[in-house]
Structure 1
């Protein structure tokens, strides 16, 4: 059986993908780290195998573009765009343009908690992984990243100043959301945010709605009501879709047997996996793999 998708720490990520860094930077275990794309990421050997990270990170492009896979979707991130990749998400870099410039920001969950964002801002930050900055916000964002970069690379880093710049970046991203939710839906949106966060972590082991309701200390009926109201889809559909998205990434590895993919994602049987896969994609796993083969 093939190895499961790796979960990389910040150290492992830098060791594998940033060959030009010095030993001091490699050993840096700070919860907030910032690197210029043009100085570090351009050395990545493309394409790379899918991976997960134990940290969150932002890709902010100021020139050129980055083509990055997040779960089963490919995103082309150009000037003025940010891709926010949450801890545990499946991702990989497909392409970086020769002229690409921008910033790569690593941030741990603890550092995000320390800046005390409102519940609503937390929801906005995870509502869409791709953020297109308004023209009026773009120059401000570039300057803030530059200030944070300068502060993080001084001889005597002042954490409070770094956190202030980081909070400014996250708030600016949050406030770019063009469709603010109604206050009357705040409770449903918060439950949806917590459900999706928990689902990202647990979908391999837990595929029953009742598990997530228990984790959130609410009834299964109420969870169904909240998720359906906020997203238009019931939680079971969310569970099936994220499992299938994960399986699609694994199925692209032609060295894996379909049965091994079903086993790795903890489906009861190959037939169960095939039923769920077809329900979501309208294709069998074999038909999906045939499509992949035809792309080459």
Structure 2
């Protein structure tokens, strides 16, 4: 049996290693799935979670309180009867002072491969794409359907684990489909052609940030001019491609700084920057502190 790790990193500093009980919820075979009350998760997560990356997609639905989480470089807040999705591979972090109740559900993409579903089914849900809107605000009727599906999955999983995986798969697809009915994209005003091109850029960046770090790299991959890419991305997202690239590099660096003991120079090289001095200047430009100071701050928190 091969384990699927909660965090996609080379090593852990001891401070951020999840408890053994927590890891059992996030590890398993290729058909990994879990669901639990948010209140139970807080028994395992005792402090703020710094920049992290998971191999599973997670979904938070609140029945009380509010939750704040940073996904990529954007901060989100969800409240009662709202949902927040963190797609697999996305860098996320959250603070320790939120008080809330609800459900947290996680699943590996392979969990939905079976006799009922094909292996690219997740691509049909924009809120699970790197460029999608991860926050869902269902109307009261849809919220009732979503809560009923979450509750049904929780009951079955609590009693039987993954013994009824076909049933859990069906409930999960029904849940994602219900969410899809009320999903609203981040940009509803820009022309479709502009949004589509900006989304393609963000998907390429997500996959190639460690090896492609110039606007010209992505313009070439998209078969357009750098000037056209600049105008399109800025109009669709409000940020330039250069800022998107810089932020993506920093997110990669934060994960390594938080969860490995790699020296700063090695972190710089790992994220594709061969000049540690430039890496430090870039990090300080966006974070207001050096990579070393950032690591020390996380270790003290």
TM over 0.5: yes
Answer yes or no: is the 8 Å Cα contact 1:7–1:53 preserved in 2: yes
Going from structure 1 to structure 2, the CA distance change for 1:147 and 1:252 (only over 3 Å counts) comes to: closer
1:72 and 1:248 in contact (8 A); partners too:
no
| Partner SS, residue 44 of structure 1 | coil
Q: What count of residue pairs does the alignment treat as equivalent?
A: 278
Aligned partners of 2:52 and 2:213: how far apart in 1?
22
Q: Structure 1 pair 6/106, CA: closer, same or farther in 2 (3 Å)? A: closer
The normalised TM-score by structure 1 is 0.70
Aligned counterpart for 1:117 among listed residues 124, 145, 150:
124
Find out whether 1:128 has 2:133 as its counterpart. yes
Do the aligned residues in 2 keep the contact of 1:70 with 1:89 (CA within 8 Å)?
A: yes
Where in structure 2 are the equivalents of 1:224-235 lying within 5 Å?
224-235=230-241
Contact 1:66 1:100 in 2 (8 A): no
Partners of 2:86 and 2:128 within 8 A in 1: no
Q: TM-score, normalised by structure 2?
A: 0.69
Name stretches of at least 5 consecutive residues in structure 2 with no aligned partner.
1-5, 10-16, 113-118
Asked whether the equivalents of residues 148 and 166 of structure 1 are also in contact (C-alpha less than 8 Å), the reply is no
Q: Secondary structure at the match of 1:144?
A: helix
CA contact (8 A) 1:20 1:43 kept: no
**Given that residues 123 and 190 in structure 1 are in contact (C-alpha distance below 8 angstroms), is that contact kept between their aligned partners in structure 2?**
no
Return the alpha-carbon distance in structure 2 between the equivalents of residues 199 and 125 of structure 1: 10
User: Do structure 1's residue 145 and structure 2's residue 150 form an aligned pair?
Assistant: yes
Confirm or deny: 8 A CA contact 1:55 1:106 kept in the other structure: yes
Greater RCO, 1 or 2 (C-alpha within 8 Å, sep 6+): 2
Query: Which residue of the partner structure matches residue 37 of structure 2?
Result: 37
Q: Which moved more, 1:259-268 or 1:65-74?
A: 65-74
Q: Any gaps of 5 or more consecutive residues in structure 1?
A: none
- Measured on the aligned residues, the alpha-carbon RMSD in Å equals 4.4
Contact 1:262/1:273 (<8 A) preserved = yes
How many Å separate the matches in 2 of 1:210 and 1:239?
Answer: 12
Against the structure 1 CA distance between its residues 76 and 230, is the aligned structure 2 distance closer, same or farther, given a 3 Å change threshold? closer
